């Protein structure tokens, strides 16, 4: 069952903070949408980072983002591989992320789509995506900010 109720997200959050590694691992593999698990939005994050810095608000934002990425996957009919989701501050600095990056609040995701170049994905998203759309040469950045924004990397 998908955790669509706030209570479900509260339970999932408590499982992420559990001292029991088995409970934590089950939480990380929780199915957020038909095609995406929580762990895909926490790429390269350690258990320690998640336990120390990942908040319930981050989880709620991740769920909202997962619903949007699922919509894109469904519309495209192609698998999506997430390359970056939520980041803690230290990781964001290490990868050269913007000081106000929406990755810090779990409101942004970088991804690639199987069989399409980032330019093809970006051109497809541009006319209808109402939030932030970043133009990378090796990935597409998408965020759920409440206003239209377009920007490039490099």
Claim: this prediction has a pTM higher than 0.75: yes
Q: How far apart are CA 108 and CA 72, in angstroms?
A: 14
Q: For the chain, which residues make up each domain, given as ranges?
A: 6-152
CATH of domain 6-152: 3.30.1380.10
pLDDT, tens digit only, all 154 positions of the chain: 444 444 489 999 999 999 999 999 999 999 999 999 999 999 778 898 898 899 999 999 999 999 999 999 999 999 999 999 999 999 999 999 999 999 999 999 999 999 999 999 999 999 999 999 999 999 999 999 999 999 998 6
Q: How far apart are CA 128 and CA 49, in angstroms?
A: 35
Q: How far apart are CA 125 and CA 143, in angstroms?
A: 12
């Amino acid at each position: 069952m998908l955790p669509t109720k706030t209570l479900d997200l509260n339970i999932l959050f408590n499982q992420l903070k559990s001292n029991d590694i088995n409970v934590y691992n089950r939480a990380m593999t929780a199915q957020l949408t038909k095609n995406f698990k929580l762990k895909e939005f926490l790429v390269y994050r350690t258990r320690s980072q998640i336990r120390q810095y990942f908040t319930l608000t981050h989880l709620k934002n991740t769920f909202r983002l997962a619903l949007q990425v699922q919509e894109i996957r469904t519309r495209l009919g192609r698998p999506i591989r997430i390359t970056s989701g939520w980041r803690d501050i230290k990781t964001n600095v290490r990868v050269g992320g913007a000081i106000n990056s929406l990755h810090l609040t779990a409101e942004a995701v970088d991804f690639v789509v199987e069989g399409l170049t980032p330019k093809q994905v970006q051109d497809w998203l541009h006319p209808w995506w109402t939030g932030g759309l970043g133009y990378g040469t090796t990935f597409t950045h998408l965020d759920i900010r409440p206003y239209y924004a377009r920007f490039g990397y490099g």
